[in-house]
Structure 1
Amino acid sequence: MMPRPSIPFRSAASGVGGEIARRVGLAREPWPEDSRTPDWKLLIGELSALAEPVKRVVKAPSTRIALPRTRTPRTVILLPGFATHPVRMRYFARVLEGAGHAVKRWGQGFNWGVSSERFEAAELRLLDVCQRTGEPVVLVGWSLGGLFARELAKRNRDSVAKVITMGTPFSGSPRDNNAWRAYQLVAGHSVDSPPIEADVPAKPPVPTIALWSPRDGIVHHRAAAGRPGERDRAIALRCTHIGFSYAPESIAAVARELEAD
């Protein structure tokens, strides 16, 4: 009887272990001394998002929002933040739909980071929605989703009417946030070396609006607001980073931008 081959199994195990070790190494990179990150008190404040579903049920009048019917219906694609699922923005979508806008998902599940495959799928989704509706689409990206939105607009100018980012770290250092280590662990690549070619701070060739908040506990507010020339306008809100996905003021701000030229 021939002996069982054991080397392939060991090689596979070694490969998995090596990949885990590589990702852990990425997550343990030293924090740059010149990086700007939100205060830890703001980070703790992000925990308030855990109570958001309960507040909406118990205190409906103060937490729900009803927008007036739009005179200019838009087609919108919502792009979720890092490690979040489109379901996290379902309430956001329902409110915009209630105002008369057509809201689409980005066509994928959880956003586990930038990859060439994930970006290509998002691009195909954009082109498909644009072709079926016969009009350019408004891209609304929360956090990492905003980086997808900006890069999609740069490559598909004729398919995008406007880009709206919410707490998106597109300006300054890619480490100007409290999430870059977790991102590198999950995504498997350095924030300095994304797997797609991108000039992150460069403004897309369409109207680009940056929503930011001084209460953001994940992304430094300057990284999300950007500098002149990196976006057309920056609008300050008073919500948490996670709150961008459900806060009434965030939804209302996006709705106003959908009405604007």
Structure 2
Amino acid sequence: MKKSPAHTGPNLFSAFLELRALIEATAAASFQPLLRNIAKGNGQPVIVVPAFMTGDGGTALLRRYLNASGFKSYGWNQGRNTGIRQAFLDNLLAQIETVSEQHGGASVSLVGWSLGGVYARAAANAKPELVRQVITLGSPFNVATTDSISGGVAKLYEFLNPGGLSDPMLSAADTWRQSPPVPSTAIYSTGDGVADWHYCVDEPGYQTENVKVPGSHMGLTHNAAVMYAVAERLAQKEGSWAPFNNSWLRRFWYGDALAS
């Protein structure tokens, strides 16, 4: 895809509003009984990849919701996501193969939050025959460096990843910048206080879309609008993918927020 022009990153006001994540988690818990009856799975396997400096605990609420909705979700089982590492990607690829085998050769959907979405896209480009679809949540995949991340997070990344710029995965950024050859949905928020949303959207195509939601970056895995959109995308029949479009929910949650 085309390289995005440089952006200054999230503004201070958006960063401050990341405190909304606590409110979003409370609201999501209230909405879950309703959401579970809207989009239903039939046991499709889904691997959820966590954000930078988080682990499977950070995606637990989303995975519990997906399981209750009829999907079979998995954490990435690699502990804390400490940055862009080829070893993490290799382990994820091996996990995709294992999960596929456990489900009789079924293709596996990937949901990635923030940096987790970078891994999801890289994995889908590496093993498209094993991936059903990719959904990213506030993932700055459309940039080759950390300039899409707010200053404090970028410095933390550099501190925790000495020598990270020489990692083979980082030097092959096209593996995640390029749109996967499978259905792909990029969910993003213009109020994201961590990742510049301009870097979190893809070029729309026949199986590539962007869905804008209200909310914070830290709350993307427990935001009711996001949770519904993820489940609705996952519930589609394989080979029958269509762009996200639900009129009544769009008016209630998304407004004019669909960018197809």
Partner of 2:50: 80
Mark the runs of 5 or more structure 2 residues left unpaired by the alignment: 242-260
Q: Does 1:177 align with 2:139?
A: no
> Secondary structure of 2:214's partner?
coil
Which of 195, 201, 216 is equivalent to 2:168? 195
What's the CA shift string for 1:134-182, capped at 9, x where partnerless?
Answer: 2000000000000000000111111100000000001145312213222
Cα offset for 1:231?
7.4
> Secondary structure of 2:193's partner?
coil
> Secondary structure of 2:186's partner?
strand
User: How many residue pairs end up in the alignment?
Assistant: 225
> Secondary structure of 1:216's partner?
coil
Q: Aligned letter for 1:198?
A: A
Cα offset for 1:52?
5.9
Q: How has the CA–CA distance of structure 1 residues 50 and 60 changed in structure 2, closer, same or farther, with 3 Å as cutoff?
A: closer
Which of 21, 33, 40 is equivalent to 1:49? 21
Q: How has the CA–CA distance of structure 1 residues 80 and 258 changed in structure 2, closer, same or farther, with 3 Å as cutoff?
A: same
1:237–1:250 contact (8 Å) kept in structure 2: yes
Once residues 102 and 81 of structure 2 are traced to their aligned partners in structure 1, the CA distance between those partners, rounded to angstroms, is 24
Cα offset for 1:60?
5.2
Once residues 100 and 237 of structure 1 are traced to their aligned partners in structure 2, the CA distance between those partners, rounded to angstroms, is 24
Which of 95, 120, 123 is equivalent to 2:93? 123
Cα offset for 1:105?
1.1
2:124–2:182 contact (8 Å) kept in structure 1: yes
Partner of 2:36: 67
Cα offset for 1:212?
0.5
Cα offset for 1:230?
11
Q: Aligned letter for 2:201?
A: A
Once residues 52 and 228 of structure 1 are traced to their aligned partners in structure 2, the CA distance between those partners, rounded to angstroms, is 28
Q: How has the CA–CA distance of structure 1 residues 96 and 157 changed in structure 2, closer, same or farther, with 3 Å as cutoff?
A: same
Query: Percent of aligned pairs with the same residue?
Result: 28
Partner of 1:106: 76
Q: Which has the larger radius of gyration?
A: 1
2:22–2:219 contact (8 Å) kept in structure 1: no
Q: Does 1:213 align with 2:186?
A: no
Partner of 2:249: none
Once residues 230 and 46 of structure 1 are traced to their aligned partners in structure 2, the CA distance between those partners, rounded to angstroms, is 33
Q: How has the CA–CA distance of structure 1 residues 189 and 210 changed in structure 2, closer, same or farther, with 3 Å as cutoff?
A: farther
Once residues 219 and 187 of structure 2 are traced to their aligned partners in structure 1, the CA distance between those partners, rounded to angstroms, is 12
Cα offset for 1:227?
2.9
CA RMSD of aligned residues (A): 2.5
2:43–2:72 contact (8 Å) kept in structure 1: yes
2:131–2:182 contact (8 Å) kept in structure 1: yes
Once residues 231 and 37 of structure 1 are traced to their aligned partners in structure 2, the CA distance between those partners, rounded to angstroms, is 28
Matches within 5 A, 1:131-146: 131-134=101-104, 135-146=106-117
Which of 59, 82, 92 is equivalent to 2:62? 92
2:142–2:199 contact (8 Å) kept in structure 1: yes
User: Please, what TM-score do these two structures have when normalized by structure 2?
Assistant: 0.78
What's the CA shift string for 1:200-259, capped at 9, x where partnerless?
Answer: 321111111100111110111111123346971000000100111111111111011012
Q: How has the CA–CA distance of structure 1 residues 136 and 90 changed in structure 2, closer, same or farther, with 3 Å as cutoff?
A: same
User: Please, what TM-score do these two structures have when normalized by structure 1?
Assistant: 0.78
Q: Does 1:232 align with 2:232?
A: no
